[in-house]
Amino acid sequence: MIIRNADILTPRGIMVSGFLVIQDGRITKVGSHGESRHWSTAGHEVLDASGLTVVPGFVDIHAHGGGGHDVLEGTYEAVSAMCRAHARHGTTSIFPTTMAAPFSELVDAVHAVADAVRRGTGGAEALGVHLEGPWVNPDSRGAQALEAIRPPDVRELDKLIEESGGLVRITTVAPELEGASDFIRAAVGRGVRVSLGHSLASFDEAMLAVRSGATHVTHAFNAMRGLHHRNPGMAGAMLACDELTTEAILDGFHLHPAAATILYRCKGADRLALVTDATMAAGMPEGEYELGGQRVVYKGGAVRLPDGGLAGSALTLDRAVKRAMADLGVTLAQAVAMASSVPARIAGVHDRKGSIEEGKDADLALMDEAGEVRATIVRGAVVYRGEA
């Protein structure tokens, strides 16, 4: 495929009216308009992207569902459906995310993700598993099911790594739990990125976790104690510690714009990842859905438990990018980086994902001037094409 007449967002800035050459699912040439005149189109599909901006496809490292399906359904069909739903919004890579659940359900879920990795999805590419539960603090569980929460267990982690075929890439753990430091060191030793979350940890407990190998924080400010000037807690560690990257759910409910601005000013565009924390309601009309087997209601833009507590979101990353520009005052390039190159680096896939560079996978989103996704390309294949 050759994409012509597009403004292309590269790591060096926007190339106006440039062209891209894609062969065997990879980007083989990023060139200027002048160079395109001398490039043969023989054997290539030509896509005219006049009026559009080509940006790197978004990478979602925290999503529970979408398109009416939940990862914990534990089927290939559910995972592939959520991947197709998110592809309609520019997401090209996704880490299906579990919650606290009985061990057998987690096994089914990681099997389903492994099937999606092996067979493909027809949408966003499933790259691995994010285990958000069950090793969280029951007193800071958010929408996690209380009866399924349990202490960190390396043997359980090892079994899930085995059952997934080595596809567990990220795990969330509350660092104050007994055995957490040993668990963190074990996870890191197995190549799993450790994220701190659903926690009431003190500042010192959070920093001990960092020294043990934790590098990330799950959904900033949510399911953790608020910042206090004499007891900064995990929120303080997150803001002050440069070794920690973190996530932001910019759906207008999880973070006040002022809190998001503070977070951005502390972490910068290179240590802040936009995520959706999406439920099966993402890409669907308002109504009743499930999250990890629990009833949730999507109404007024928010997804909530029956008691009114937030329970994930119906967010998509194209909307998160637009909100980042509006709420944080960042440029398109900065907002897109927080949805592509930063999460790709956090998840350890930046060698092939997250930016438009020669040699990387041809994972692309084509956006119009209003920020709407008009087409999504995954490894050189068009998986979504919107109306002109």
Residue 366 pairs in a beta bridge with 54, 375
- Rounded to whole angstroms, how far apart are CA atoms 88 and 90? 6
Catalytic residue numbers? 277
Buried/exposed 279-312: b ≥16 CB within 10 Å, e otherwise: bbbbbbeeeebbbbebebbbeeebbbbeeeebbb
Q: From the CB of residue 220, how many other CB atoms can be counted at a distance below 10 Å?
A: 27
Cα dihedral across residues 108, 158, 190, 139: positive or negative:
positive
Q: Is residue 72 within 8 Å of residue 98, measured between CB atoms?
A: yes
Q: Could you report how far apart the first and last alpha carbons of the chain are, in Å?
A: 19
Buried/exposed 6-31: b ≥16 CB within 10 Å, e otherwise: bbbbbeeeebeebbbbbeeebbeebb
Record the tokens describing residue 231, joined without a space.
């007891």
Check residue 2 and report its DSSP letter.
E
- Rounded to whole angstroms, how far apart are CA atoms 164 and 128? 9
Q: Which string of DSSP letters, residue by residue, matches 153-206?
A: -HHHHHHHHHHHTS-EEEEEE-TTSTTHHHHHHHHHHTT-EEEE-SB---HHHH
